[in-house]
Amino acid sequence: MIQYKITQTDKWNFVEFELAKNIEPADLKKMIMPDIKKFYNKGVIISGRGPIWLYGVLIHHFHPTRFIATFEPRLNAGVVIETHETEFHIGDLIDL
């Protein structure tokens, strides 16, 4: 249903997702998420084409990480949308 490609750096993980088919909200109940234990000490940048409610679930899943950003292709950067760190602030850009 969903495939993930994860690229790691020292400070963040770039999580790209791709939908194998159109999904419905009921599909969220059986969706397999990346193992959160691999992400605790880093931030996460999420990228992929999907419905906003899927992004909401992914953001909630990655909440314990240092920060969460969403990829903005026009800027070739992640935009920080949630953070637990003083190093990163909402609205900061993370250049890829």
Does 82 have pLDDT greater than 90?
yes
pTM over 0.75: yes
Task: Specify the pLDDT at position 57.
Answer: 96
**DSSP character string of 51-87:** -HHHHHHHHHHTTTSSEEEEEETTTTEEEEEEES-SS
| Domain spans of the chain, in order of start | 2-95
Q: Phi and psi dihedrals of 85, rounded to 5?
A: -120, 155
**DSSP character string of 7-50:** EE-SSEEEEEEEESS---GGGGGGPPPP-GGGTTTSEEEEEE--
- What is the rounded distance in angstroms from the CA atom of residue 25 to the CA atom of residue 43? 26
pLDDT 10s digits, 19-74? 989 999 999 999 999 888 877 789 999 999 999 999 999 999 999 999 999 999 99
Does 78 have pLDDT greater than 90?
yes
